[in-house]
Amino acid sequence: MNRKKIGIALGSGGAKGFAHVGVLKALEEHHIPVDLVSGSSMGSLVGAFYATGMRPDFMDRLARSLTWRHWVDVTVPRVGLVAGKKIHDMVTLLTRGTEFAQIDMPLAIVATELLSKRLVTFTSGRISDAVRASISIPGVFVPYVREDGVYVDGGVMERVPVAAARDLGADVVIAVDVAAFMKHEVPGTMMDVIMMSLDAMTDQLVQQRLPTADLCITPNLSDIGTSQFSRAAEAIEIGYQTTLSLMSKIRELVGLPQTDSVGEEQVEDS
């Protein structure tokens, strides 16, 4: 019997995106199959790790152990504050330099090409290159430049890449929007200003496209700033708990039997 093909679309949001790890952890613990993944910005990073075989528990430990010194290489602020080579090298190492064609799980990563002002979906080439393009927050990261274009953050045009998951062949798309809840206060860092501005510019488009997902998980991360990478553990836990609260709906959506509190299938009274 053929089951529905399930895709998960992981959105942008800076440090808030660590919640994606908690979402994947909850899905895995409850045996919800994920057949394909699409990602934008921070969602592309988590999605790339997942699609290349990294388990959520390992991602959790990795997120808790990394500091900004592992991935930030400050440069002379000309077109960006962070050169991006450190994180590019780190992602290449952790994905083993894998190309899209070499992995079993279909993966799509979105980025914005500045010169043509269009959304680009990467499904071929080296995965770490696509991630480097997708995470290039304007004004924070130096844009990723190569022969076919100048790339900045996928969230500039597609905060949550639902369409990309559909294009990969998903019958059911579970979207994760980590930027759905914003705290109404003065931003504390340059990155917060930039990310809040991007969210404001794209919010109307997001509201039009998110309903095309079959389910949207929206962890309330309003208390965590987009630049607060030291709060990874909190973001992961919020993503995890939010997904658990929706597990009944998720199981129904993907056609799996409901479970009780310890994860055993419910048995109807005879």
- SS3 for the chain, per residue? CCCCCEEEEECCCHHHHHHHHHHHHHHHHCCCCCCEEEEECHHHHHHHHHHCCCCHHHHHHHHHHCCHHHHCCECCCCCEEECCHHHHHHHHHHCCCCEHHHCCCCEEEEEEECCCCEEEEECCCEHHHHHHHHCCCCEEECCEEECCEEEECHHHCCCCCHHHHHHCCCCEEEEECCCCCCCCCCCCCHHHHHHHHHHHHHHHHHHHHHHHCCEEECCCCCCCCCCCHHHHHHHHHHHHHHHHHCHHHHHHHHCCCCECCCCCECCCCC
- Residue 260 catalytic? no
- Distance of alpha carbon 82 from alpha carbon 66, whole angstroms: 17
Residue of 41, 134, 136, 227 marked catalytic = 41
- Residue 167 catalytic? no
CA angle 100, 178, 81 (to 5 degrees): 75
Find, among 261, 246, 207, 253, the residue nearest to 7 by Cα.
253
Residue of 35, 60, 129, 153 marked catalytic = 153
List active site positions.
41, 153
